[in-house]
Amino acid sequence: MPSTPSASAGTAPSGTATHCPYCALQCAQTLTPVAGGGADGAPVLTVEGRDFPTNQGGLCRKGWTSAEVLTAPDRLTAPQLRGADGELREVSWDAALDHVATHLREQRERRGSDAVAVFGGGGLTNEKAYALGKFTRVVLGSRLIDYNGRFCMSAAATASNRSLGLDRGLPFPLPDLAGADCVLLLGSNLAATMPPFVQHLEGVRSRGGLVVTDPRGSATAALTAEGAGVHLAPVPGTDLVVLLALLHVVLAEDLVDHEYLAARTTGLEALRASAAAWWPERAEAVCGVPARRLRQVARMLADASPSRGGRGAYVLTGRGVEQSTQGTATVTAAIDLALLLGLVGRRGSGYGPLTGQGNGQGGREHGLKADQLPGYRKITDPEDRAHVAAVWGVDPESLPGPGVPAVELLGMLGRPVGPSALIVCGANPVVSAPDVSRVRERLAALDLLVVMDTVPSETALLADVLLPVTQWAEEEGTMTNLEGRVIRRRRAREAPGGARSELWILRELAARLGVPTGFPAEASAVFDELARASAGGRADYSGLSHERLDREGSMHWPVPGPDHPGTPHALLDGFPTADGRARLLPVTHEDPADPLRADAPLHLVTGRLLEQYQSGAQTRRVPSLLAARPAAFAQMHPLLADLLGIEDGEEVLLRTRSGELRVPAEVTEEIRPDTVFMPFHYPGEGSANLLTGSATDPLSGMPGFKVTALEVLPAPRPVPVPDVVTVQQRSIV
């Protein structure tokens, strides 16, 4: 295992200490230049895993190959402007930025501040997320900003804030999981999406306590084999019913932690009344999980809880249960279960959602979310507005109010009462958003589309102005991982060609739009301002700086002062609610927005693959990853394939209310017979989001990616063209 680098220097013995550009595990890496460099003159980098609490030196296949994205052959290195003939052509930075500023000014003068919208990404550094939010609200004066993290963490964030008063992903360090007797993992295939995570589950597996809920026999579900735990395979869209049944058993069998509930929660009786209706036999009829299994899991969790002498228990949620129109309710029920057992805010136990994108946590904390100001401040709270406005040097009354969630924002584009210009930074909604046919239509209706990206993603190719930006190994900054751990991203090479940091671009645009100060291009200066803006907020970074993180290595927020040691374990001393207590909240199961019907009798679920990431804009440019999983497919059970007369590898036609597509079938027993799985990493005619709808959770704005009614048919085979000679010969014979 490579040695741990000097934290103060930010370099390993032979390279630069930084972190993987992909998921929220943010595995530590060392990047080392290879002698000779690349064709662009910038160094080619090798990757080594670095010892760190989350990955303990390990990396997944994406992490090992991450440096290859830096040298993608189609890397963007110069600004491009679409001409009158519809073609994108390279121009100077001055020409591109002047064009953008002129048109943004025209749109605002003609239609008001909300004529311009901004769509960000959960992979941006904290500094970029902060600057983009400030630019939107101060320079553009627009309320219309949101980000692709809305498709990832919004249900969990909403539920956590309602029940616990805090949204910090995991409020405990990841290595704590090793000591648990039971871990309930709801809707996450982390063995494929973040493989180094699995080592933290070895302890609970050795004790037979891992419980995985997933309609597929995924790589993570397979971890429960041979006595390591239990796999529950509910009907898609019924995860809430599973949790309601677990709540019922815990309450009916009096497995609750009475002392904890009395001291630290409110709402027990209302929850008891709502859970009473979901005895396991009734739940089985809806979710398909045997009643005996539901009772078994409830008792496993209870026996593992501290109040009953266990080593500890954890309840973890992922996108599989969150990405539905009742995602917030489902996460709320998971939190209710953890509270009943006395797990939350206790060492050795807990609840937490598994953040997906690299900086999905920090992005919403510091600027990209429609209704939040930096530090997790509320944009509607007068004191919060006044604090941030003072840091920004503006009148609080000049700050716009809350915007709208991502799906609603994308649906407004180009309409008479919607924005006529959009700036996209670090996102690829043409692949990642639900109902992408509608998204394409809305983008085409804009007067101006500006995209900042490193490669010509599917969204970037639609831009009127395309601005090339730096990648992870070409910039300084910070990220906040799935534990609320703030870490340093460090530059290991210079950016090729004319690529510029988004911080530089925002500074230049702000100056052209009449705000010549307040937008430094140095990441450390932006972070120092972010720290001041966050002071006193729930996500308080005021005791942090680049220099301190270089010295300490990493720290968990809140860090409210320069001498504060950070907060690895949040909620130990109470909940940040009005009375200091957590809320037990009753929830009700609802049918999906797109229920099964005669012409769509199957469930479509979407998800990630080991070799690909998000919209695939990065990983599809790594040859070995693309070769491993080159195209989309439809995974289905042999019983379904037999019923349809489909062989493995044959094309099938998938049809929903939103659209249809043709892909090869992948036949496997590791999925429910009533369910079809598609990966969502692929563009064009293989895009899974051609099939998903735009219905969202009413509380969080989370799209219902995981619950879509589907029809599957054998794809029509092309009619063969007869060989004229052969036909004539046969007729002669």
418-439 pLDDT per residue, tens:
999 999 999 999 999 999 999 9
Alpha carbons within 13 A on the beta-carbon side of 182: 23
The predicted pLDDT at position 537 comes to 96
Q: Is the pLDDT of residue 724 over 60?
A: no
CA distance 372 to 158: 12
Q: Is the pLDDT of residue 47 over 90?
A: yes
CA distance 152 to 613: 13
pLDDT digits (tens, 9 = 90+) for 249-268: 999 999 999 999 999 999 99
The predicted pLDDT at position 37 comes to 61
Cβ neighbours of residue 254 under 8 Å, at least 6 residues apart?
A: none
The predicted pLDDT at position 719 comes to 64
Residue 280 CB coordination number (10 Å): 24
* Structure letter (DSSP) for residue 165: S
Q: Is the pLDDT of residue 10 over 80?
A: no
The predicted pLDDT at position 1 comes to 31
Antiparallel, parallel or unpaired: β 44-49 and 350-353:
unpaired
Percent of the chain with pLDDT over 70: 95
Contact predicate 681/608, CB 8 Å: yes
CA distance 76 to 83: 18
In terms of Cα–Cα distance, which of 512, 518, 517 is closest to 104?
Answer: 512
CA distance 326 to 401: 26
Alpha carbons within 13 A on the beta-carbon side of 117: 32
Contact predicate 586/298, CB 8 Å: no
In terms of Cα–Cα distance, which of 588, 587, 586, 584 is closest to 267?
Answer: 584
Q: Is the pLDDT of residue 12 over 60?
A: no
pLDDT band for position 41 (cuts 50, 70, 90): low
When the pLDDT of each residue in the chain is averaged and rounded to a whole number, the result is: 94
Can you give the pTM of this predicted structure?
A: 0.94
CA distance 129 to 139: 15
The rounded Cα 318 to chain-centroid distance in angstroms is 10
Q: What average pLDDT does the segment 378-393 reach?
A: 97
In terms of Cα–Cα distance, which of 122, 114, 168, 123 is closest to 145?
Answer: 114
pLDDT digits (tens, 9 = 90+) for 584-615: 999 999 999 999 999 999 999 999 999 999 99
Cα–Cα distance list, 383 to 130, 173, 536, 539, 558 (Å): 19, 32, 11, 16, 19
The predicted pLDDT at position 357 comes to 93
Provide the token pair at 680.
């969502």
Which residue did the predictor score with more confidence, 379 or 724? 379
pLDDT band for position 39 (cuts 50, 70, 90): low
CA distance 325 to 346: 31
Signed CA dihedral, 699, 449, 607, 170: sign only: negative
Owner of token pair 């309930």:
184
The predicted pLDDT at position 696 comes to 97
Q: In what order do the strands lie in the sheet with 554-556?
A: 477-480, 485-489, 554-556
Instruction: Determine which of 177-181, 364-368, 399-403, 426-430 has the lowest per-residue pLDDT on average.
Output: 364-368
Domains plus CATH for the chain?
Answer: 11-71 (2.20.25.90), 80-152+358-523 (3.40.50.740), 154-353 (3.40.228.10), 602-714 (2.40.40.20)
Antiparallel, parallel or unpaired: β 145-147 and 116-120:
parallel
Q: Using alpha carbons only, what angle is made at residue 375 by residues 337 and 422, rounded to the nearest 5 degrees? A: 100
Provide the token pair at 37.
């460099």
Percent of the chain with pLDDT over 90: 93
- Residue 280: asked if its preceding bond is cis (omega within 30°), the reply is no
Contact predicate 380/371, CB 8 Å: yes
Longest dimension (CA), the chain: 97
Stretch (H or E) spanning 147: strand 145-147
Antiparallel, parallel or unpaired: β 554-556 and 582-583:
unpaired
Q: Is the pLDDT of residue 654 over 60?
A: yes
Contact predicate 606/151, CB 8 Å: no
CA distance 479 to 357: 11
CA distance 362 to 557: 11
Cα separation of the two ends of the chain: 75
Stretch (H or E) spanning 279: none
Q: Is the pLDDT of residue 13 over 90?
A: no
